[in-house]
Structure 1
Amino acid sequence: MKKIILKYYLPIFASALIFIAPIILINYSEDDFSDIIIGLSLLVIFLTFVLGTLNYKFGDKLTFNNRKKSIKKDLFQEFIYKGFDDNEVSVSGYLENYYTIISDERDSTYPNKWIEIIILFNPKQQSQFIPNYVFQKLYNQGKNNYSWNSNSLTIKKVYGLKVPKYRNIRDIIDEAIKILRDNNIESIKGEEWDSSLKESVTHYRQISSLKN
Protein backbone atom coordinates (compact mmCIF):
# COMPACT_ATOMS: atom_id res chain seq x y z
CA MET A 1 0.00 0.00 0.00
CA LYS A 2 2.83 2.38 0.88
CA LYS A 3 4.49 1.78 -2.49
CA ILE A 4 1.21 2.49 -4.30
CA ILE A 5 0.75 5.78 -2.46
CA LEU A 6 4.34 6.87 -3.11
CA LYS A 7 4.27 5.92 -6.79
CA TYR A 8 0.79 6.95 -7.89
CA TYR A 9 -0.68 9.40 -5.38
CA LEU A 10 2.25 11.38 -3.96
CA PRO A 11 3.31 12.87 -7.33
CA ILE A 12 -0.28 14.01 -7.93
CA PHE A 13 -0.42 15.54 -4.45
CA ALA A 14 2.86 17.39 -5.02
CA SER A 15 1.72 18.68 -8.42
CA ALA A 16 -1.60 19.89 -7.03
CA LEU A 17 0.17 21.60 -4.16
CA ILE A 18 2.59 23.38 -6.51
CA PHE A 19 -0.32 24.50 -8.68
CA ILE A 20 -2.46 25.76 -5.81
CA ALA A 21 0.24 27.45 -3.68
CA PRO A 22 0.43 30.55 -5.93
CA ILE A 23 -3.36 30.91 -5.73
CA ILE A 24 -3.09 31.13 -1.94
CA LEU A 25 -0.38 33.78 -2.18
CA ILE A 26 -2.21 35.85 -4.79
CA ASN A 27 -5.50 35.77 -2.92
CA TYR A 28 -4.01 36.22 0.52
CA SER A 29 -6.31 38.04 2.89
CA GLU A 30 -5.92 37.91 6.64
CA ASP A 31 -9.68 37.77 7.19
CA ASP A 32 -10.34 34.95 4.74
CA PHE A 33 -7.02 33.12 4.98
CA SER A 34 -8.27 30.19 7.07
CA ASP A 35 -11.27 29.66 4.77
CA ILE A 36 -9.02 29.72 1.70
CA ILE A 37 -6.63 27.21 3.28
CA ILE A 38 -9.46 24.84 4.19
CA GLY A 39 -11.12 25.10 0.78
CA LEU A 40 -7.94 24.61 -1.22
CA SER A 41 -6.77 21.80 1.07
CA LEU A 42 -10.00 19.94 0.37
CA LEU A 43 -9.47 20.57 -3.34
CA VAL A 44 -5.93 19.17 -3.16
CA ILE A 45 -7.18 16.05 -1.36
CA PHE A 46 -9.98 15.60 -3.91
CA LEU A 47 -7.63 16.00 -6.89
CA THR A 48 -5.09 13.66 -5.32
CA PHE A 49 -7.71 10.97 -4.78
CA VAL A 50 -9.32 11.22 -8.23
CA LEU A 51 -6.22 11.75 -10.37
CA GLY A 52 -4.11 9.43 -8.23
CA THR A 53 -6.66 6.64 -8.71
CA LEU A 54 -6.65 7.23 -12.48
CA ASN A 55 -2.86 7.18 -12.40
CA TYR A 56 -2.93 3.91 -10.46
CA LYS A 57 -5.36 2.27 -12.88
CA PHE A 58 -4.03 3.56 -16.20
CA GLY A 59 -0.63 5.16 -15.54
CA ASP A 60 1.53 2.08 -16.13
CA LYS A 61 -0.32 1.20 -19.33
CA LEU A 62 0.06 4.75 -20.63
CA THR A 63 3.77 4.73 -19.78
CA PHE A 64 4.22 1.41 -21.57
CA ASN A 65 2.44 2.70 -24.68
CA ASN A 66 4.51 5.91 -24.72
CA ARG A 67 7.76 3.99 -24.41
CA LYS A 68 6.67 1.55 -27.11
CA LYS A 69 5.82 4.43 -29.44
CA SER A 70 9.20 6.06 -28.75
CA ILE A 71 11.08 3.07 -30.15
CA LYS A 72 9.88 4.11 -33.62
CA LYS A 73 11.80 7.38 -33.37
CA ASP A 74 15.02 7.92 -35.30
CA LEU A 75 17.28 7.65 -32.25
CA PHE A 76 16.21 4.11 -31.40
CA GLN A 77 15.86 3.01 -35.01
CA GLU A 78 19.48 4.03 -35.57
CA PHE A 79 20.62 1.84 -32.68
CA ILE A 80 18.50 -1.04 -34.00
CA TYR A 81 20.00 -0.54 -37.46
CA LYS A 82 23.46 -0.83 -35.90
CA GLY A 83 22.63 -4.15 -34.27
CA PHE A 84 20.75 -3.40 -31.06
CA ASP A 85 17.76 -5.54 -30.08
CA ASP A 86 14.25 -4.08 -30.08
CA ASN A 87 12.69 -4.92 -26.68
CA GLU A 88 9.40 -3.09 -27.39
CA VAL A 89 10.03 -0.42 -24.74
CA SER A 90 13.83 -0.21 -24.98
CA VAL A 91 16.77 -1.18 -27.15
CA SER A 92 19.81 -3.09 -25.96
CA GLY A 93 23.11 -4.30 -27.26
CA TYR A 94 26.87 -4.17 -26.87
CA LEU A 95 29.01 -1.07 -27.34
CA GLU A 96 32.74 -1.58 -26.86
CA ASN A 97 31.77 -4.92 -25.23
CA TYR A 98 29.63 -3.17 -22.58
CA TYR A 99 26.00 -4.27 -22.54
CA THR A 100 23.87 -1.14 -22.84
CA ILE A 101 20.12 -0.57 -22.47
CA ILE A 102 18.50 2.62 -23.78
CA SER A 103 14.92 3.77 -23.24
CA ASP A 104 12.75 6.87 -23.40
CA GLU A 105 11.40 7.80 -19.98
CA ARG A 106 9.08 10.46 -18.61
CA ASP A 107 7.31 11.38 -15.40
CA SER A 108 3.61 10.65 -15.41
CA THR A 109 2.75 13.87 -13.58
CA TYR A 110 5.59 16.24 -14.48
CA PRO A 111 6.66 17.37 -17.96
CA ASN A 112 10.09 15.79 -17.53
CA LYS A 113 11.46 13.61 -20.32
CA TRP A 114 14.80 11.91 -20.55
CA ILE A 115 16.73 9.22 -22.36
CA GLU A 116 17.82 6.62 -19.83
CA ILE A 117 21.03 4.74 -20.52
CA ILE A 118 22.02 1.73 -18.41
CA ILE A 119 25.51 0.30 -18.84
CA LEU A 120 26.19 -3.03 -17.15
CA PHE A 121 29.65 -3.86 -15.87
CA ASN A 122 31.49 -6.56 -13.98
CA PRO A 123 31.10 -5.95 -10.23
CA LYS A 124 34.52 -7.51 -9.64
CA GLN A 125 38.12 -6.51 -10.28
CA GLN A 126 40.60 -9.39 -10.27
CA SER A 127 38.00 -11.70 -8.69
CA GLN A 128 37.31 -9.23 -5.86
CA PHE A 129 34.30 -6.95 -5.59
CA ILE A 130 35.01 -3.37 -6.60
CA PRO A 131 35.96 -1.46 -3.42
CA ASN A 132 33.61 1.25 -2.19
CA TYR A 133 36.33 3.89 -2.48
CA VAL A 134 36.27 3.42 -6.26
CA PHE A 135 32.57 4.28 -6.37
CA GLN A 136 33.20 7.21 -4.03
CA LYS A 137 35.86 8.48 -6.41
CA LEU A 138 33.47 8.16 -9.35
CA TYR A 139 30.71 9.89 -7.42
CA ASN A 140 33.04 12.77 -6.56
CA GLN A 141 33.60 13.46 -10.24
CA GLY A 142 30.38 15.46 -10.08
CA LYS A 143 28.43 13.85 -12.90
CA ASN A 144 24.97 14.79 -11.66
CA ASN A 145 23.22 12.73 -14.32
CA TYR A 146 25.14 9.58 -13.31
CA SER A 147 23.74 7.05 -10.83
CA TRP A 148 26.27 4.42 -9.77
CA ASN A 149 25.24 0.96 -8.61
CA SER A 150 27.45 -1.96 -7.66
CA ASN A 151 27.19 -3.46 -11.15
CA SER A 152 25.68 -0.82 -13.42
CA LEU A 153 25.74 2.84 -14.34
CA THR A 154 22.52 4.70 -15.13
CA ILE A 155 22.69 7.96 -17.07
CA LYS A 156 19.81 10.38 -17.62
CA LYS A 157 19.88 12.69 -20.62
CA VAL A 158 17.06 15.18 -20.09
CA TYR A 159 15.59 16.68 -23.24
CA GLY A 160 12.85 19.09 -24.27
CA LEU A 161 10.69 18.92 -27.36
CA LYS A 162 13.00 16.85 -29.55
CA VAL A 163 14.55 13.48 -28.81
CA PRO A 164 18.37 13.72 -28.90
CA LYS A 165 20.22 12.59 -32.00
CA TYR A 166 22.03 9.27 -32.19
CA ARG A 167 25.45 10.93 -32.22
CA ASN A 168 24.67 12.86 -29.05
CA ILE A 169 23.64 9.73 -27.13
CA ARG A 170 26.54 7.75 -28.55
CA ASP A 171 29.00 10.41 -27.36
CA ILE A 172 27.50 10.20 -23.85
CA ILE A 173 27.90 6.43 -23.84
CA ASP A 174 31.45 6.60 -25.20
CA GLU A 175 32.43 9.04 -22.45
CA ALA A 176 30.93 6.77 -19.78
CA ILE A 177 32.72 3.71 -21.14
CA LYS A 178 36.00 5.63 -21.09
CA ILE A 179 35.42 6.45 -17.40
CA LEU A 180 34.75 2.77 -16.69
CA ARG A 181 37.91 1.69 -18.46
CA ASP A 182 40.01 4.39 -16.83
CA ASN A 183 38.96 2.93 -13.48
CA ASN A 184 39.60 -0.68 -14.53
CA ILE A 185 35.90 -1.54 -14.46
CA GLU A 186 35.41 -4.31 -16.96
CA SER A 187 32.54 -5.24 -19.22
CA ILE A 188 30.39 -8.31 -18.66
CA LYS A 189 28.05 -10.41 -20.76
CA GLY A 190 24.36 -9.90 -20.09
CA GLU A 191 23.76 -13.48 -18.96
CA GLU A 192 26.81 -13.40 -16.66
CA TRP A 193 25.60 -10.13 -15.17
CA ASP A 194 22.23 -11.73 -14.35
CA SER A 195 23.92 -14.59 -12.52
CA SER A 196 26.21 -12.24 -10.55
CA LEU A 197 23.41 -9.90 -9.47
CA LYS A 198 22.36 -11.69 -6.28
CA GLU A 199 25.93 -12.19 -5.09
CA SER A 200 26.78 -8.56 -5.77
CA VAL A 201 23.76 -7.18 -3.91
CA THR A 202 24.40 -9.48 -0.94
CA HIS A 203 28.04 -8.41 -0.72
CA TYR A 204 27.37 -4.67 -0.67
CA ARG A 205 24.51 -5.06 1.80
CA GLN A 206 26.89 -6.85 4.15
CA ILE A 207 29.46 -4.08 3.76
CA SER A 208 26.78 -1.49 4.47
CA SER A 209 25.57 -3.31 7.60
CA LEU A 210 29.12 -3.55 8.94
CA LYS A 211 29.52 0.22 8.57
CA ASN A 212 26.29 0.84 10.43
Structure 2
Amino acid sequence: MYLFCMAPTATGIIPDETVSWQKKIAIILLVPLVISIFLAPLLYWLTPKLQLRHRRKKTKKKLFQEFVEKNAFRISDDGHVLGKIDNYIVIIHANYNEFQSTKWIETQILFHPKQGNQYISQSFFQRMIRKYEGKNVTWFANSILIKSDYILKLPKYEVLYPLIKRCISELKAQNITPISHKQWTALIPETQQYLNNIEKL
Protein backbone atom coordinates (compact mmCIF):
# COMPACT_ATOMS: atom_id res chain seq x y z
CA MET A 1 0.00 0.00 0.00
CA TYR A 2 2.80 2.42 0.95
CA LEU A 3 4.77 1.82 -2.26
CA PHE A 4 1.57 2.02 -4.29
CA CYS A 5 0.96 5.54 -2.92
CA MET A 6 4.62 6.58 -3.25
CA ALA A 7 4.83 6.22 -7.05
CA PRO A 8 2.39 9.00 -8.04
CA THR A 9 3.77 11.28 -5.32
CA ALA A 10 7.33 10.91 -6.60
CA THR A 11 6.22 11.43 -10.20
CA GLY A 12 4.43 14.64 -9.29
CA ILE A 13 7.07 16.25 -7.08
CA ILE A 14 10.45 15.39 -8.65
CA PRO A 15 10.16 17.65 -11.77
CA ASP A 16 9.46 20.71 -9.58
CA GLU A 17 12.81 22.57 -9.46
CA THR A 18 11.56 25.16 -6.92
CA VAL A 19 11.55 22.53 -4.18
CA SER A 20 14.85 21.48 -2.57
CA TRP A 21 15.93 17.86 -2.69
CA GLN A 22 15.60 17.57 1.07
CA LYS A 23 11.97 18.69 0.92
CA LYS A 24 11.32 16.46 -2.08
CA ILE A 25 12.60 13.43 -0.21
CA ALA A 26 10.55 14.33 2.87
CA ILE A 27 7.40 14.77 0.77
CA ILE A 28 8.01 11.57 -1.18
CA LEU A 29 8.36 9.63 2.08
CA LEU A 30 5.72 11.30 4.24
CA VAL A 31 2.81 11.97 1.87
CA PRO A 32 2.34 8.32 0.83
CA LEU A 33 2.63 7.30 4.48
CA VAL A 34 -0.17 9.67 5.48
CA ILE A 35 -2.32 8.55 2.55
CA SER A 36 -1.77 4.86 3.29
CA ILE A 37 -2.65 5.38 6.97
CA PHE A 38 -6.07 6.62 5.89
CA LEU A 39 -6.56 4.25 2.95
CA ALA A 40 -5.53 1.00 4.63
CA PRO A 41 -8.40 0.93 7.18
CA LEU A 42 -10.85 1.92 4.45
CA LEU A 43 -9.71 -0.93 2.19
CA TYR A 44 -9.71 -3.31 5.16
CA TRP A 45 -13.36 -2.42 5.75
CA LEU A 46 -14.40 -2.36 2.09
CA THR A 47 -12.63 -5.46 0.75
CA PRO A 48 -14.83 -8.11 2.46
CA LYS A 49 -17.96 -6.28 1.30
CA LEU A 50 -16.68 -6.03 -2.28
CA GLN A 51 -15.65 -9.68 -2.29
CA LEU A 52 -19.07 -10.72 -0.98
CA ARG A 53 -20.74 -8.73 -3.73
CA HIS A 54 -18.40 -10.31 -6.30
CA ARG A 55 -19.16 -13.86 -5.07
CA ARG A 56 -22.91 -13.31 -5.08
CA LYS A 57 -22.83 -11.84 -8.58
CA LYS A 58 -20.84 -14.76 -9.98
CA THR A 59 -23.26 -17.37 -8.59
CA LYS A 60 -25.66 -16.35 -11.37
CA LYS A 61 -23.16 -17.50 -14.00
CA LYS A 62 -23.58 -20.75 -15.93
CA LEU A 63 -20.78 -22.60 -14.12
CA PHE A 64 -22.42 -22.26 -10.71
CA GLN A 65 -25.94 -22.78 -12.01
CA GLU A 66 -24.90 -26.09 -13.55
CA PHE A 67 -23.66 -27.34 -10.19
CA VAL A 68 -27.01 -26.31 -8.71
CA GLU A 69 -29.05 -27.98 -11.47
CA LYS A 70 -26.99 -31.12 -12.02
CA ASN A 71 -25.76 -31.86 -8.49
CA ALA A 72 -28.44 -30.28 -6.28
CA PHE A 73 -25.95 -27.76 -4.88
CA ARG A 74 -27.30 -24.73 -3.05
CA ILE A 75 -26.20 -21.10 -2.97
CA SER A 76 -25.43 -19.70 0.49
CA ASP A 77 -26.05 -16.12 1.58
CA ASP A 78 -22.31 -15.42 1.49
CA GLY A 79 -21.97 -16.37 -2.17
CA HIS A 80 -20.68 -19.92 -1.84
CA VAL A 81 -22.12 -22.75 -3.92
CA LEU A 82 -22.00 -25.96 -1.93
CA GLY A 83 -23.21 -29.51 -1.97
CA LYS A 84 -22.02 -33.12 -2.05
CA ILE A 85 -20.40 -35.22 -4.74
CA ASP A 86 -20.11 -38.90 -3.79
CA ASN A 87 -20.90 -37.80 -0.20
CA TYR A 88 -17.87 -35.45 -0.04
CA ILE A 89 -18.70 -31.82 0.73
CA VAL A 90 -17.66 -29.52 -2.11
CA ILE A 91 -17.62 -25.72 -1.72
CA ILE A 92 -17.12 -23.45 -4.73
CA HIS A 93 -16.84 -19.67 -4.93
CA ALA A 94 -15.42 -16.88 -7.07
CA ASN A 95 -12.48 -14.82 -5.85
CA TYR A 96 -10.23 -12.04 -7.13
CA ASN A 97 -7.26 -9.83 -6.27
CA GLU A 98 -7.99 -6.17 -6.98
CA PHE A 99 -4.30 -5.19 -6.88
CA GLN A 100 -3.05 -7.87 -9.26
CA SER A 101 -6.16 -7.87 -11.47
CA THR A 102 -6.44 -11.65 -11.22
CA LYS A 103 -9.63 -13.70 -10.95
CA TRP A 104 -10.18 -17.34 -10.15
CA ILE A 105 -12.66 -19.96 -8.96
CA GLU A 106 -11.85 -21.78 -5.72
CA THR A 107 -13.14 -25.31 -5.19
CA GLN A 108 -12.65 -26.97 -1.82
CA ILE A 109 -13.25 -30.67 -1.17
CA LEU A 110 -13.48 -31.65 2.50
CA PHE A 111 -12.44 -35.03 3.88
CA HIS A 112 -11.71 -36.63 7.25
CA PRO A 113 -8.04 -36.07 8.18
CA LYS A 114 -7.88 -39.38 10.03
CA GLN A 115 -8.15 -43.05 9.18
CA GLY A 116 -9.23 -44.70 12.39
CA ASN A 117 -7.25 -43.02 15.16
CA GLN A 118 -4.28 -42.12 12.96
CA TYR A 119 -3.80 -39.12 10.71
CA ILE A 120 -3.49 -39.87 7.02
CA SER A 121 0.10 -40.68 6.07
CA GLN A 122 2.14 -37.76 4.79
CA SER A 123 3.50 -40.03 2.05
CA PHE A 124 0.04 -40.05 0.45
CA PHE A 125 -0.03 -36.25 0.25
CA GLN A 126 3.49 -36.15 -1.13
CA ARG A 127 2.45 -38.55 -3.91
CA MET A 128 -0.62 -36.46 -4.70
CA ILE A 129 1.38 -33.22 -4.75
CA ARG A 130 3.76 -34.73 -7.31
CA LYS A 131 0.92 -36.23 -9.34
CA TYR A 132 -1.05 -32.97 -9.56
CA GLU A 133 1.91 -30.64 -9.97
CA GLY A 134 1.07 -27.86 -12.43
CA LYS A 135 -2.68 -28.52 -12.26
CA ASN A 136 -3.44 -25.86 -9.61
CA VAL A 137 -4.55 -28.56 -7.17
CA THR A 138 -3.28 -28.21 -3.59
CA TRP A 139 -3.54 -31.09 -1.11
CA PHE A 140 -3.96 -30.23 2.55
CA ALA A 141 -4.28 -32.51 5.59
CA ASN A 142 -8.09 -32.17 5.60
CA SER A 143 -9.07 -30.77 2.21
CA ILE A 144 -8.22 -30.31 -1.45
CA LEU A 145 -8.14 -26.86 -3.02
CA ILE A 146 -8.58 -26.42 -6.77
CA LYS A 147 -7.77 -22.95 -8.08
CA SER A 148 -9.10 -22.28 -11.59
CA ASP A 149 -7.74 -19.02 -12.98
CA TYR A 150 -9.62 -17.16 -15.71
CA ILE A 151 -9.52 -13.83 -17.53
CA LEU A 152 -12.90 -13.12 -19.13
CA LYS A 153 -14.93 -16.33 -19.15
CA LEU A 154 -15.36 -18.57 -16.13
CA PRO A 155 -14.05 -22.14 -16.37
CA LYS A 156 -16.50 -24.60 -17.88
CA TYR A 157 -18.44 -27.12 -15.82
CA GLU A 158 -17.24 -29.83 -18.23
CA VAL A 159 -13.65 -29.07 -17.16
CA LEU A 160 -14.05 -28.47 -13.42
CA TYR A 161 -16.47 -31.28 -12.58
CA PRO A 162 -14.25 -34.11 -13.94
CA LEU A 163 -11.28 -32.71 -12.01
CA ILE A 164 -13.35 -32.73 -8.81
CA LYS A 165 -14.40 -36.32 -9.50
CA ARG A 166 -10.79 -37.30 -10.16
CA CYS A 167 -9.64 -35.85 -6.83
CA ILE A 168 -12.47 -37.59 -5.01
CA SER A 169 -11.56 -40.89 -6.68
CA GLU A 170 -8.06 -40.51 -5.20
CA LEU A 171 -9.61 -40.18 -1.75
CA LYS A 172 -11.90 -43.16 -2.24
CA ALA A 173 -9.04 -45.32 -3.51
CA GLN A 174 -7.26 -44.74 -0.17
CA ASN A 175 -10.44 -45.23 1.90
CA ILE A 176 -10.30 -41.60 3.02
CA THR A 177 -13.80 -40.85 4.22
CA PRO A 178 -16.16 -37.88 3.85
CA ILE A 179 -16.86 -35.67 6.86
CA SER A 180 -19.58 -33.25 7.95
CA HIS A 181 -18.73 -29.56 7.89
CA LYS A 182 -19.36 -29.31 11.65
CA GLN A 183 -16.99 -32.16 12.48
CA TRP A 184 -14.42 -30.90 9.96
CA THR A 185 -14.42 -27.46 11.61
CA ALA A 186 -14.19 -28.98 15.10
CA LEU A 187 -11.08 -30.97 14.10
CA ILE A 188 -9.16 -27.98 12.71
CA PRO A 189 -7.30 -27.06 15.97
CA GLU A 190 -6.24 -30.66 16.55
CA THR A 191 -5.18 -31.08 12.91
CA GLN A 192 -3.18 -27.86 13.03
CA GLN A 193 -1.40 -29.02 16.19
CA TYR A 194 -0.56 -32.31 14.49
CA LEU A 195 0.95 -30.44 11.52
CA ASN A 196 2.91 -28.15 13.84
CA ASN A 197 4.40 -31.19 15.56
CA ILE A 198 5.44 -32.66 12.20
CA GLU A 199 7.22 -29.45 11.26
CA LYS A 200 9.26 -29.62 14.47
CA LEU A 201 10.60 -33.08 13.64
- Superposition TM-score, scaled by structure 2 size: 0.77
CA offset at residue 166 of structure 1? 1.8
Q: Which residue of 2 aligns with 1:157?
A: 148
Q: Is the 8 A contact 1:121 1:151 kept in 2?
A: yes
Q: Which residue of 2 aligns with 1:134?
A: 124
Superposed CA RMSD in Å reads: 3.1
Tell me, what secondary structure is at the counterpart of 2:105?
strand
CA offset at residue 45 of structure 1? 3.3
Tell me, what secondary structure is at the counterpart of 1:140?
helix
Change (3 A) 1:13 1:153: farther
Deviates more, 1:161-170 or 1:100-109: 161-170
Deviates more, 1:137-146 or 1:85-94: 137-146
User: Paired residue for 1:49, among 27, 31, 37?
Assistant: 37
CA deviation map 1:79-112 (0-9, x unaligned): 1223112112101111122110000011132211
Larger Rg: 2
CA deviation map 1:42-93 (0-9, x unaligned): 5643553343232123221111111122112221122122311211210111
User: Paired residue for 1:75, among 47, 54, 63?
Assistant: 63
Q: How many residues align?
A: 193
CA offset at residue 113 of structure 1? 0.6
Matched, 1:86 2:72: no
Structure 2 distance, partners of 1:99, 1:152, is 10
CA deviation map 1:164-212 (0-9, x unaligned): 2222221221222233334443322334323433332333333333x1x
For structure 1, the residue ranges without an aligned partner over 5 or more in a row are 1-11
Structure 2 distance, partners of 1:54, 1:171, is 41
Q: Which residue of 2 aligns with 1:97?
A: 87
Change (3 A) 1:173 1:35: farther
Matched, 1:202 2:193: yes
Q: Which residue of 2 aligns with 1:107?
A: 97
Change (3 A) 1:162 1:50: farther
For structure 2, the residue ranges without an aligned partner over 5 or more in a row are none
User: Paired residue for 1:116, among 98, 106, 112?
Assistant: 106
- Superposition TM-score, scaled by structure 1 size: 0.74
Change (3 A) 1:33 1:140: farther
Q: Is the 8 A contact 1:15 1:109 kept in 2?
A: no
